A and B are shown apart, each in its own frame.
Chain A
Amino acid sequence: MLIIRDFSFSYDGRRVLDDVSWELGEGEVGIISGPTGSGKTSLLYSLAGFVDEYVNAKILGEIKVFGMDPREALKRGLVYYVPQDPSVSFLGFDVLTELTWKGPDEDRLEEVIELFNLKSVLDKSVLNLSGGEAQKVAIASALLGGYKLIVFDEPLANLDGKSRRSFLSELKMLKEKGITCVIAEHRTELLESYADSVLPLNETPYQLNLQSFSFARKKAEGPLFKGVDMSFSYEGGPPVLSDIKIEVQPGQVISFVGPNGSGKSTLAKIIAGMLRPRGRYQRRGSTSFMLQSPELQFLEETVYREVSYEANRDDLISQSLEHFGLKGKEDRLPHSLSRGERVRLALASSAAKDPDLYVLDEPTEGQDRAGIIAITDFIRQARESGSSVIVVTQEDWFARQVSDQAFVFEGGIVHEAVP
Chain B
Amino acid sequence: MRLSHKIKLTLSFSVLLLGSLVALLSYNVTLLATGALLAIVYSIAVSGKKVIPLFKASLWVFTGFVLSQAVFYWGFYAGSGATVILWLAKPGSNALIDALTGGKGVAVTYQGALWGVISSLKFVLTLFLAYTFSRTVTPRDVVGFVKRLGLSDEVASGAAITFRLLPELTELSKTIYLVSRARRPHGIKRVTKPFSMLKAIIYASVKRAYTTSIALEIKGPIALRSYAEVEKDEATYELTALLAFALLAFLVVW
Contacts and interface: CB of A to CB of B under 8 A. Distances in A.
Given A272-B182, A274-B182, A91 B222 contact: yes
Nearest to B179: A297
Give chain A's interface secondary structure class.
loop
A301 B199 contact: yes
Contacts of A77: 218, 220
Contact of A96 (B171, B197, B213, B230): B230
Interface string A47-86: 0001001100000000000000000001001011101000
A93 B223 contact: no
Contact of A100 (B176, B200, B227): B227
Contacts of A236: 50
Contact of B215 (A90, A286, A310): A90
B215 to A, nearest CB: 4
Interface residues of B, number: 53
A297 B183 contact: yes
Given A89-B215, A236-B50, A289-B182, A296 B175 contact: yes
B223 A79 contact: no
A291 B179 contact: yes
A273 interface: yes
A94 interface: yes
A90 B210 CA distance: 13
B210 A145 contact: no
Contacts of A170: none
Contact of B222 (A81, A90, A101): A101
Interface residues of A, number: 52
B192 to A, nearest CB: 10
A109 B227 CA distance: 12
B186 interface: yes
Interface in A195-210: none
A93 B222 contact: no
A307 to B, nearest CB: 12
B140 A102 contact: no
A53 B200 CA distance: 24
A226 interface: no
A96 B229 CA distance: 12
Interface in B135-149: 138-140, 143
A169 interface: no
B186 A91 contact: no
Contact of B211 (A88, A274, A310): A88
A235 B50 contact: yes
Interface string A88-108: 111111101100111111100
What 3 A-B pairs are tightest by C-beta distance, nearest first? A103-B223, A103-B226, A299-B196
Interface of A: 50, 53-54, 74, 77, 79-81, 83, 88-94, 96-97, 100-106, 109, 126-127, 141, 145, 235-236, 269, 272-275, 286-287, 289, 291, 295-301, 309-310, 312, 335
9 contacts: A83-B211, A91-B157, A92-B160, A92-B222, A102-B220, A106-B230, A145-B219, A272-B182, A291-B179
